[in-house]
Structure 1
């Protein structure tokens, strides 16, 4: 089940790569896989089977997301450009609170 979740998260990252103003890195932070992804890359040769599995799942999902949704987003953008602009702005603004919360975790107020 975890494998399937990682593939779907990878698909969301792939779709986010297609959206102007949203990066795949932002989506990895929102989905909580950024730290695992960076760890898998940085210590790949320590346990390469485990890390390859994680990277493969996210990579396959990302590639599938790009291939499956690129034409859909392109046709939607051509047909409903006004609505799609607001969708893109909503995705960008909707991700800001999560990014802010993630950036303030562990910080202490200095008086």
Structure 2
């Protein structure tokens, strides 16, 4: 399988559970991180998250964050529908559909992802 010819590598903010984290900070830290990357590095990151996590800990998705492409974790055999996405997004750019994939040369399960076609 050939990889798409990307001009710039993808930068992603991984917004999910972490033992001992203070989830009250998710919204503020995500917004500050996106602003920093856009202002200082001229880059717009992807936001990687799950709907249930995001919606539980972010009361209102900041506009600057909602403008970032969404990398959604939703493990199943059909893509997430718009009404299944985290608050603030109407579409996804990358869908992580499994955490149980296999890849030659890698031991153990790996995440599997698909990029949106449009």
Structure with more helix by fraction: 1
Q: What range is the shorter-chain TM-score in?
A: under 0.3
Higher-RCO chain (CA-CA 8 Å, sequence separation at least 6):
1
User: What TM-score results when the alignment is normalised by the length of structure 2?
Assistant: 0.23
